[in-house]
Structure 1
Amino acid sequence: MAAPPSGPDAAWGGFARGFLVSALCLVAGYLALAFALDPYDSGRSPLGTVGIRPQGPRTAAASRGRDPAFRGAIIGNSHIQLIEPERLSGLTGIPFVQLAIPATGPGEQFVVLDWFLRHHPHPQAIVLAPDDFWCGDDPAFRNDKPFPFWLFASDLPGYLRGLMRYAVAQEVIERIGWLTRKRRPLARADGWWDYEPDYLRLGFGEEAHRAPYRDKPVPDGPERGRAGPFPAADALRAALRAVPAQTPVVAVLPPVAHAALPRPGTPRAAAEAACKAAIGEALASHPRSALLDWRRDRPEARDPDLFFDGSHYRHPLARRVSEDIAAAIARLRAPTEQAP
């Protein structure tokens, strides 16, 4: 009978096996802890939900988007961010959550829509905000800004892989500290994030400061990659198949300042018109839908006091857009569903 191996090689082999087992146990232990603590309140933990600490909307949307207290959602980026959910709720009788995430495009926004629909299979209203980012010709909707796609994944392995990120491990530690506090600061449930104070803090309250940003004219040619085709329109058509036929869907083309509009008759104007038409055609595939075109030459676009820059508007205009959204929802709802 052969004697078991001995010497340095055997010792190193035993050390390597022990190290591997220890590492696997450590990873498994961390994953079990992170899964149980559910750092972003995604609802996957068997321990229930306790909300989230104040944080950015990229991760907070997982908690807000599954909250059963809300029956309507506003989805987009900073170009729809100033629509106040509480105000829209008051106008429609539908409890709205604001799920706008700055610097996102259609790829991220369709993921958020899917997440909301998975947790609200019978929503009372959906508000989308197809801006110029929806006019890109990239079918992959690539964006150089990071986004936690794993957090909204429908498959468990994808979510578990996301938990292995360093930033998530840091959030797990933050979560432990937050959970042990007697008084826990909570993120605002409806997602309202008013960007006006941020702009004012940066000096945009002064006309001399904001005018160069607001009044810079766009070129006559379309932006590279935004002259068609428009895959976001096809993706919208596919996404709307998951929305119940009785749910009103309102798409708002967000307002821009007059200088940000293309000059009539230019190639840029033709490209924008083609993009609008593609989005409108896709939206019309849903039986209760409305397209609100605020991206055109109307009196509000020429009012310098309504914009901080070319595409970020202020509260007075946001309130008008909210009223327009509410009126569209009222037209689309059945008589028995009207707000009191």
Structure 2
Amino acid sequence: MRDINLKATEYFEAVARLGTVTRAAAELGVSPSAVSQQIRALETQFGVRLFRREKRRLTLTLDGDRLFQTTTQAFGALRNARSAIGRQRDMRALTIRVSPSFGVRWLGPRIADFAAANPDWNIRIDATPDFSSFETEAVDLDLRYGLGAWAGLTVDCILHDFVMPMCSRDYLERLRALSDDPVEQLRQARLIDSVKALYRWDIWLAANRIELRDLSYPFRFDRSSMSIEMARSGGGVALDSAGLCLDELERGDLVPFAPAIPVIVFPGYWFVCPPRHLNRRIVTRFAAWITGEAQAHEVRSRALLDRLGCSYREESGPDLIDAGTGRQ
């Protein structure tokens, strides 16, 4: 490639494509004599004539046509790539990383409203349990599940979690047919384990001083959405986030297993980003929007749980839990 005169080739392609030296010069922003000089230099380098000069018209020779077919494709591809890069550079984009279950069950039904209010922005949702490495990844913000202990970042709680055992109404009726005692019902129940949740069965049982002879899990899922769906379809009792299945609770597809046992409430969902990212207007706009959505959701959650006869136990977070745990 080093022996190819790329500048002369560019000038040749412009003349062949546009049909005249004058038009090519105008596109390239040079004089017609400069274009003619480069064409002659290219013909000298190849040792062939590229154009036939008939009066004031230029016609490609066979060699010239062969070179044009190749160069016009190459330069066309370069022009397209340049345009695409320019569009990408100028594109107004917001990239959010969120845990999968929270993204699908909570953020997903709401994000269209934010997009409608910000039509000039492109929004990318990266649903993964892995937290962003903001120094090496092009991510604007995380919506994280955890205890909020992430040093060096802006960390604001947007939503409390409401954790309680839940199951389908039919499944609860079958358990109550076996016993009136919730503890004995649990001993007969199939427990559904959400393995990435902060509150799991062993912690919940200890906090409520409930002992089971054999703590086993017929079902274990690494996605809260799967645990919730299993409970909804009558597969057992899930200990999970009421906030992630509020619609199912409102419809009666899920019911509290034991309303007399307090719902565990703790700050669980966080807006996280480097402080410098708040200099982007779209990031602060999203932060304000999601805070409002979360507040409305929390009011709705407490109102429903109150109607269902639930009580609450407020906590700052379960003990002995790694702050890096992420709900999936």
TM-score bracket, shorter-length normalisation: under 0.3
Higher strand share: 2
TM-score by length of 1: 0.25
